[in-house]
Structures are given as C-alpha cells and as structure tokens.
Chain A
Amino acid sequence: MTSPGKPYAQPLSMDTVDLARLQFAITAGAHFLFVALTLGLATLLAVVQTRATFGNSPVHLRMTRFWGQLYIINYAMGIVTGLVMEFQLGLSWSGLTDYAGDVFGSALAIETLMAFFIESTFLGLWIFGWNKLNRWAHLALIWIVTLTAYASAFWIMVANGFLQNPVGHVLEGGRMRMADFGAMVANPAAQVAFWHVVTAGMVVGGFFMAGVSAYHLRRRTSDQDVFRKSLRIGMGVALPAVFATATSGGLGFQTMQPAKAAAWSRDAEELAAAQAEMVAAHGPGDYLPPAGWVQASGTTMLLLFALMMYFLLPSCLLMLFRPVVREFRLWHWVTTLMIPVPFVAMLAGWAFREFGRQPWTVYGLLTTSDAMSPVSAGQMRFSVVAFFTVFAVLIAVNTWLLARHARRGPGAVSLGDRPIEAPVPAPTF
C-alpha cells in the first residue's frame, strides 16, 4: 500500500480512478434520489396511518393506501441501489477499507444490522401483512420502518462524516484503529449533516405530496377530500422543513474543511493558504478541490432553497382558504411543477459536500487515488457501463410508474384492498 498522505505517489491511471468515482457517483446519486423521498414520505405515511388507526377515519385509510403504494414503488428502487452501495466500497475502494475499515466500517456494520435489516424485514411484514395483522401491530410496523430509515441515515452520515472530518481513531502501522467510538459518533461533521439530510428529506416528501395532490385538485378527480388534506399536510410540513434544512445547512458551513470553504468563497488568498498548509503537511501536490464544481453545486442548492422558500411562504397562506385550494388552477400547476426542485437541490447539496472534499477520500489522510482498488481499467469500464445502463433503465421505469400511479389516484390502489392471503388451517412449518 502506498503511504497515505502522499497523493498520486503511485498513480493508477487517472482514467480508472475517474471511472470508479463516476460509478460511485451514479450509484450514490441514484440511491439518494429515491431514499430522500423514502425518508420524507415514510414519515408522512406514518402520521397519516396514525390518524387512520386512532380516528378510525376512512379518508385517512385511503390516504395511507394511496401514499403507501407510491412509497413502496419508490422504496424498491431505494433498496436495489442501496444494496449495490453496500458492496461498492469493497469493490472499488479497497484502499479505503484496508486503511480505515477498522474505524468507519463499524458505522456501516451498525447501519446494516440496526437499520437496513429491520427496515426491510418489517416493511415486508407491513406490505404483505395488510388486513392480516392486528391494525395496531400494523401501525407499529410503519413507525418502526420510519425510525429505522432515520437510523440508516444517521449511521451513513456517521460514516460519511468520518471521511469529511476523521475523528476518534489512531494510526498504527499505516492503518487506522478505533480509539474513541463516541467521538466518531458525536463528530459535528456527521451530526449536522444528519439533520440536514433528514429535514431535506421532509422537504422532498412534502413537495411530492403537495404536488401530486395539486394535480388531482386541478383535474377535479374524485377523492377531493383526500387531496385537500394531503396538499395541506405536504405544504405544512415542507415550510418548516425548508427552514430547518437551511439552519442545519448554515451550521454545516462551519464544519467545512478550509479548502472547501476557500473554493466556495473563491478567495484566492484563502485558497493559496489552504494549498500551502497541505503542501507543508504532505509534500508537493495539488490539494485543492475543483472550485468550479464546488461553486456551481453550492449556488444551485442555495438558489433552489430561495425558490422553495418564496413559493412556500405565500402557498401556506393560500392553502388556508378552501375556495383557493379547490379552484386556483395556476397555483395547482406551479405546485405540481415544483416536485423536481427539492430533488435537484438535494443532489446539488450532495455534490457540493463531496466535490469539496477532493482530492481526499479521508480528509487530510488518504487521497482518492490511493483509496482505489487494484482493479484494471477494463473491469472498471465493464462495471460502470453495466451499472449505468441498468440504473438508467430502472430510474426511467420507476419514475414513469410513480407518475402513472400518482395520476390514477386512490381508486386504483391495490395495496391493502383485501386480505392478501386468506388464512387456512394448513401450517407449513
């Protein structure tokens, strides 16, 4: 292994490193699009099902089934990209696992067992146990699924926070060893980012719910009651969530690495200082992130935040008036058109965070080229093309399917419409 901290000391072909980064970006980007909606929609779904269960309310039951079906279509895409993510580090980044696996691998291990495992097990029970389980048990399941989705986000941000700002470890013979698990978990670069991601997920979920509802209100489809309520829930959640996202994002700026901050502010002096500091610590090399990407993605995120905020402030007033909610078609149109905006903002924020960390995988300790697995350019080309093709097709199919089911409304939902399997007294085991 090359010694960490000597960037490009043993350069792999840059092509291969770029391909590996592209592959990770495709997988993580595809994953992030769908899990962002999962995080937000699961929460809203749990709240709606709680109303349906406690109030015995048929409207809320219809809402649960409708949004639940969209949630499941979305979740399926989140899980298949998620399991590729889980293997991605060992496949393409064995330099990272060899060097830092004893520390940050713990966060991944806890994520799979405490979150992924329980989330999937109970989601299966929630889907297939509809009308079969006791309704209180069924309600408990969706809450567990929601909380484990948060736990998942938490431990992934602990792992990511460690790469951004490595704490809680010691170096021993060229490898990291865990020194302080608590410090790794309490890492501000992880904590702040977790709240940022979770609140941004609520923005995504809120806009989605409001946008789909506005479509049905504009088209005057049946189930106006379902969509009036849903529109209000969506917007009512998105507004505070946008402010919470901005607040946690603002705090995040304080946990940024000096080079990322300098690239963002385009301050030549700060950039030179960050570079000089790294050269003094690690020897000659280029230690600055790609400033153009950092600025473009950061600016996109902030502009879209402004757009969402200025849209939501008047909208949350408008939604208080029933005639407006029923009749104001231009507003319905705009609300539906806003659905993609938080998704783009989310991806831009992620690009801002990750581009800004380059050329490091573990900031200040392990460069991206040193983190790569010793695989050939041919192997990497094959896997990039294969994953890209499959994910592109699946994203297209699933987005189309989401749109179709969203348009067709609650009347066409098959989730939970009858006992899935009528129980008969013939035990298998």
Chain B
Amino acid sequence: MEIFILAFFALGYLVLAGADIGVGMALPYLGRSAAERREVIASIAPFFLGNEVWLVATAGVLAGLFPHLESVLLTGNHSVVVVLLLAWVVRDMGLWLRGRMPGARWQAFWDGATVAGSWGLALSWGLLLGNVLLGITGPFAVLPALVVTVLFGTHGLTFAALRLRGELRARAAVLSGGAGEGRTYALTSAALVTVGALAGLRLPLDPGSAGTVLVPVVLTMMPLLVAAQAWVWWTFRHRVTGPSYL
C-alpha cells in the first residue's frame, strides 16, 4: 500500500505538472508577442500551483513512508536535485512576478525565467530519471535526459492544444497531426507514466515502519485531495479566452 501511495503522487506529478512544465518550455514558440505569451500562460495559470504540490506531497510521502529511500535518492543525486529545485524556484518566480509590474522589459525578463526554469526542470528530471532507470552518469547521461525533456515538451504542447484557441491552438497542435487533441494528450501522459513507473521499479522500495499509523491517514485524505483538485479542473474546464491574473 505504501508503494501505491508513492506511485500515486509521483506519477500524478509527472502527468499534471509535466504539462505545465512543457507549456513553459514551449512559451517562446507558442507566444510570439507579449500578449500571446500572457494568454499561453493563462492556459496553465490556475493549475500550476495545484500541480506542483503533487511533488511536495511525493516528498512528504518519501519522508514519512520511505525515509531510507528519501536519503538514498536525494543524497545520491545531490547536485541534480539542487539544480532541479533552483530551476523550480526560478520558474515559479517567473510565473508569479511577470504580471506584477507593467513594463515590457520586466515581463520579458520573467518570461525568460519561466522558460529557463521549465527547461532546467525538465532536463534535471531527465538526468534524475535517466540515472535511476539506466544508471548512466557522466556525459552520456545527457542522451536519456534529452529524451525525457522532449517528452515533457511534447506533453506540454498537447495540453496547450487542449486549452488554447485559434492561432495559438493551431501552433500547439503541430505535433499531433490529424489525431485528436485528447488522444494525443492521453498518449504523452501514458509515456510519462511509463517512464516514471519503470524508474520507480528500479528503486529500493522497502517502506519504513511508520505505515501502520500513516497509511490509513493518507488513504483517508486521498479522496479529499482528489476532490479538491477536481474542483479546480472543473472550474477551469473551458478554453482560455483572455489573460489571467499572472
């Protein structure tokens, strides 16, 4: 049951946050002007806060149920995790700050932070997953990292195609060809879940001893957490029609 809980949050993160990371990566491609970029960001704005907490929850589940795995994974990949965290922080700040001042240069600067942070995040996920999955370190680790990065980017494009309209939607649909947008999104989601699950199977998944107390608490919480997220998805189920608060 511990493994199910860990997989639920970790894979949930890859699918949900993977989409908004990918949109961040594709921001210069999707949005050619400041106004377009703002509209592209509106496609992920209501979701990114609720998406990234799946990784926070994963860290919490690791700390509570898999403390040994937590230290092996984080200490063993110290520098990659540090870069991942920094990219995450830079990206979030780009999203939060871009709309808080008028000025074109201010917004261009923070859009740059969003793009750089999203690429950094995808690449460090690639390095981390590549290392866990294939045990590759050194210069060749870049290859699996790039594959994962491309996957994040594609996933982001399919999500953007579902959320945007008109010209922006057409740009986002460049890779899906004739296939339906929903079907393409399902495909990239499945690919991310597969990579995540395969990497997970390579980890030493022996839970600690707190499960007797913690597992019932977490299982009770889970429907509530999903319901809270579902409320967000339902509220923002329509295509983006204009800029958001960000």
A149 to chain B, nearest CB (A): 14
Give the docked Cα–Cα distance between A397 and B60 (Å): 29
A76-B93, A387-B86 are contacts. A125–B46 as well, Cβ < 8 Å? yes
| Mask: chain A, 343-387; 1 = CB below 8 Å from B; 0 = not | 000000000000000000000000000000111000100110011
Known: A113-B221, A394-B93, A429-B237. Is A87-B46 also a contact (CB below 8 A)? no
Tell me whether B67 and A102 are in contact (CB under 8 A): yes
B49-80 vs A, Cβ < 8 Å mask (1 yes, 0 no): 11011111101111111011011111100110
Q: Is the CB of A428 within 8 A of B78?
A: no
Alpha-carbon separation in the docked complex, A427 to B182 (Å): 12
* A421–B152 CA distance with the chains assembled, in angstroms: 26
Which residues of A lie under 8 Å from residue B64 when comparing CB positions? 101, 105-106, 108-110
B: interface residue count bin: 35 or more
When the two chains form their complex, are residues A117 and B56 in contact, meaning their CB atoms are under 8 A apart? yes
Are A102 and B57 interface neighbours, CB within 8 A?
Answer: no
The interface bits of chain B over 91-127 (1 if a CB of A lies within 8 angstroms of the residue's CB, else 0) are 0110011011100000000000000000000000000
Task: Give the secondary structure class of B's interface.
Answer: helix
**A127 at interface by CB-CB < 8 Å:** yes
B232 within 8 A of A: yes
Asked if B89 and A87 sit within 8 Å, CB to CB, the answer is: no
In the complex, A128 has a CB within 8 A of chain B: yes
Task: Let me know if B201 is at the binding interface, CB within 8 A.
Answer: no
Pick the interface stretch among A78-86, A256-264, A294-302, A315-323: A78-86
Interface status of A405 (Cβ within 8 A of chain B): yes
Interface SS of chain A: helix, strand, loop or mixed? helix
Indicate if the CB atoms of A87 and B85 lie closer than 8 Å. yes
A121 touches B53 (CB 8 A): yes
Q: Which residues of B contact A130 (CB under 8 A)?
A: 245
Q: Is A390 an interface residue (CB 8 A)?
A: yes
Asked if A293 is at the interface of the complex by the 8 Å CB criterion, the answer is no
> Which of B57, B63, B101, B163 has a CB less than 8 Å from the CB of A97?
B63
- Nearest residue, chain A, Cβ from B46: A128
Given the interface pairs A125-B232, A379-B78, the reply to whether A83 lies near B85 with Cβ below 8 Å is yes
Q: Are B92 and A112 touching (Cβ within 8 A)?
A: no
Q: How far is the CB of A90 from chain B (nearest CB, A)?
A: 4
C-beta contact mask, A121-140 vs B, less than 8 Å → 1, else 0?
A: 11111011110110000000
Find out whether the CB atom of A421 lies under 8 angstroms from the CB atom of B244. yes
Q: Once the chains are docked, how many angstroms separate the CA of A89 from the CA of B74?
A: 9
Residue A116 interfacial (CB < 8 Å): yes
Are A113 and B49 in contact, with the CB atoms below 8 A?
no
A128 lies within 8 A of B245 (CB): yes
Contact status A86-B59, CB under 8 Å: yes
**A412 to chain B: closest CB distance in Å?**
10
B28 at the interface (CB under 8 A from A): no
Q: Tell me whether A243 is interfacial, beta carbon within 8 Å.
A: no
Q: Are A90 and B92 within 8 A (Cβ)?
A: no
Contacts of A82 in B (CB 8 A): 56
With A383-B79, A424-B239 given, is the CB distance from A97 to B67 under 8 Å?
A: yes
Does B213 lie at the interface of the complex (its beta carbon under 8 Å from any beta carbon of A)?
yes
The answer to whether A91 touches B75 (Cβ under 8 A) is yes
Question: Across the interface, which residues of A come within 8 angstroms of B244, CB to CB?
Answer: 128, 420-421
In the complex the two chains form, is B65's CB within 8 Å of A109's CB? yes
Q: A101-B67, A390-B86, A420-B245 are in contact. Are A120 and B49 (CB under 8 A)?
A: yes
Residues of B with C-beta under 8 A to A98:
67-68, 71
Whether B49 pairs with A124 at a CB distance below 8 angstroms is yes
Beta-carbon contact of B225 and A117 below 8 Å: yes
Q: Are B46 and A129 interface neighbours, CB within 8 A?
A: yes
Q: Which residues of A contact B137 (CB under 8 A)?
A: none
Q: List B contacts of A91 (CB < 8 A).
A: 74-75, 78, 81-82
Interface string of A54-78 (1 = CB under 8 A from B): 0000000000000000001100100
Asked if B85 and A113 make an inter-chain contact with CB atoms under 8 angstroms apart, the answer reads no
Do B241 and A177 have beta carbons less than 8 Å apart? Answer: no
B191 at the interface (CB under 8 A from A): no
Identify A123's interface contact among B49, B81, B89, CB under 8 A. Answer: B49
Contacts of B208 in A (CB 8 A): 101-102, 105
Closest-by-CB residue of A relative to B67 is: A101
Smallest CB-CB separation from B163: which chain A residue? Answer: A428
Q: What are 7 A-B pairs at a CB distance below 8 A? A: A72-B96, A87-B59, A120-B50, A124-B46, A133-B235, A422-B242, A427-B237
Kindly list 8 other residue pairs between chains A and B, CB separation below 8 angstroms, not including A83-B56, A114-B221.
Answer: A90-B63, A94-B70, A109-B63, A116-B60, A375-B75, A415-B245, A420-B244, A429-B233
Interface of A toward B, CB cutoff 8 Å: 72-73, 76, 79-80, 82-84, 86-87, 89-91, 94, 97-98, 101-103, 105-106, 108-114, 116-118, 120-125, 127-130, 132-133, 177-178, 181, 373-375, 379, 382-383, 386-387, 390, 394, 397, 401, 404-405, 414-415, 420-429
In order of increasing CB-CB distance, the 3 nearest A-B pairs are A101-B67, A109-B64, A112-B60
